[in-house]
Amino acid sequence: MYSKQFRTLFTSLNSRKRPEDIAQVILELPELQLTQETMSKLKLAAEGALSNNQFGYSSMSDEFFNPIGCEKQLSKGKELFPSVVFDTDNGALPQHADTLIEQACPILGGAPSKLDFKHDRLNKLERKAANLDISKRQYNKKFRYLRRLQAKRARLAREHKKREFTLISKSGLAFTIDEHHFFDDALTAAFIAYYVARCNLRSEYTTDKQQRPYDEIADQLFQDCMRSNSTNWWAISHVYPAPFVLGKLTDEQKGKMLGTWYSVLCELAEFLKELWGNSDISRKTMIVKRGNDSTTWNNTAGAWNKVRDAWFRFLFDLGMQDIVDVLCPGKVLRLMAADVVAWHHHEEGTLEVDTKIWNEVPLPWEVLSGEAECSRHFVERVCRRYGVDPVHKGWTAPPPEMKVAKYRLTPELVHGVTVSNPSLAKVLKKAGVFSGKPVKD
């Protein structure tokens, strides 16, 4: 039986706990014996845990957005189809709606693929032939319910996919780590949980680089993992596919991860293509305009870049970099607020150089689908035109290993702006301050 603290670390992979709070949990983990050096560094972070500060809470949510499930609709389904057996208490996932739809459609003489209200409803003679002993009104009511539930199920599945891509954009495939592998080694779990918490930090409003997730505490935990004989490198590779980690995997494990990352890359390509086609995004500037769903685009773009980097790492580690010679999909740029772009332009005197490269290379999803060709040589030529090192900037190879960042206390943020008091932050957020929109009364 695993301790409460151990399970807290596991559930944190799917949430947005502050690194300081995770550090506190690691210190309390009974399954883990820490070195004095590691303990002192964790204590440094734990001093900023919510349980240790004067406020005791944060205005920032410790959860990522969770889609609203089908519980209400499934409860109604139990009333309309009492003979169907399904779980009405757990409608958070799309498959729970599938169970009801698949079992209820035959009762109405139909199928899940035939729920068009205009074309697929049975007329009086067809209902009689199907032995449906209910009125036309009741039939229409049940048919309409199934059609709407199916539409709700499709929306729910899409929102879950968007949530997955958000998690991937932050911490790779950490949320897919099997609990058996996570609980296999306490030190492995400690590193993964702390590093994921660092990866999940919110962006700050600045033209400087954001905080790097791999800080001195993450590095200390990783060094401990390197010295341990029981480290689960397979689990770590889901979130931190560094060269040393890949060197600890078998060829079979590397091949499996390579396929996993590529499959996710294909999913992201399809979704990006859809978003691009349904949006009026200015490719030339990548400045967000009214009507652009910048949150969804930026999360998906971040996920693409994260997965693409990992895919490159596994290709190069396996000696398969020849693939990149002919198939080199580029990075996807995020949408930026006009004031941030203007700020950057004022300081640098020009548009961020990656934007210029993005405008000249084919759209990445078109490259992956075969609609366009993009070789490594072509990308290198474009990069050189703008004085960019294609390897250092991650356009044609895995990006360089992350430098160890100095630990910094997680700031209380309101739309990226630091506010020292969480009570004040909550008021400012509610009023819409720093949101770029008119302040609410």
- Residues 135-153: tens digit of each pLDDT: 999 999 999 999 999 999 9
Predicted local distance difference test score (pLDDT) of residue 88: 66
- Residues 58-80: tens digit of each pLDDT: 889 999 999 988 888 998 998 99
With contact defined as beta carbons under 8 Å apart, do 19 and 194 qualify? Answer: yes
Q: Nearest 5°: phi and psi at 312? A: -60, -45
pLDDT at 91 over 70: no
Predicted local distance difference test score (pLDDT) of residue 344: 63
Predicted local distance difference test score (pLDDT) of residue 303: 98
How does residue 53 score in pLDDT terms, banded at 50, 70 and 90? Answer: confident
Q: What mean pLDDT is predicted for residues 400-409? A: 90
What pTM was estimated for this model as a whole? 0.91
How does residue 309 score in pLDDT terms, banded at 50, 70 and 90? Answer: very high
Query: Cα 35 from chain centroid?
Result: 33
Rounded Cα–Cα distance for residues 222 and 350 (Å): 39
How does residue 441 score in pLDDT terms, banded at 50, 70 and 90? Answer: low
Number of Cα atoms under 13 Å in the Cβ half of residue 262: 15
- Residues 166-177: tens digit of each pLDDT: 999 999 999 999
- Residues 182-218: tens digit of each pLDDT: 999 999 999 999 999 999 999 887 767 788 999 999 9
Query: For residue 217, which of 47, 64, 50, 61 has the smallest C-alpha distance?
Result: 47
Cα-based distances in Å from 149 to 94, 97, 98: 10, 7, 9
pLDDT at 394 over 80: yes
Between residues 352 and 81, which one has the greater pLDDT?
A: 81
Predicted local distance difference test score (pLDDT) of residue 351: 72
Predicted local distance difference test score (pLDDT) of residue 422: 82
Question: If you compute the radius of gyration of the chain from its CA atoms, what whole number of angstroms results?
Answer: 25
In the chain, the amino acid numbered 406 is K
Predicted local distance difference test score (pLDDT) of residue 347: 65
How does residue 343 score in pLDDT terms, banded at 50, 70 and 90? Answer: low
Between residues 275 and 87, which one has the greater pLDDT?
A: 275
pLDDT at 392 over 80: yes
Predicted local distance difference test score (pLDDT) of residue 417: 85
pLDDT at 300 over 90: yes
pLDDT at 439 over 80: no
On the 0-12 / 13-18 / 19+ scale of CB atoms within 10 A, 179 is middle
With contact defined as beta carbons under 8 Å apart, do 68 and 421 qualify? Answer: no
- Residues 261-296: tens digit of each pLDDT: 999 999 999 999 999 999 999 999 999 998 899 999
Predicted local distance difference test score (pLDDT) of residue 138: 96
How does residue 85 score in pLDDT terms, banded at 50, 70 and 90? Answer: confident
Predicted local distance difference test score (pLDDT) of residue 146: 96
Predicted local distance difference test score (pLDDT) of residue 423: 82
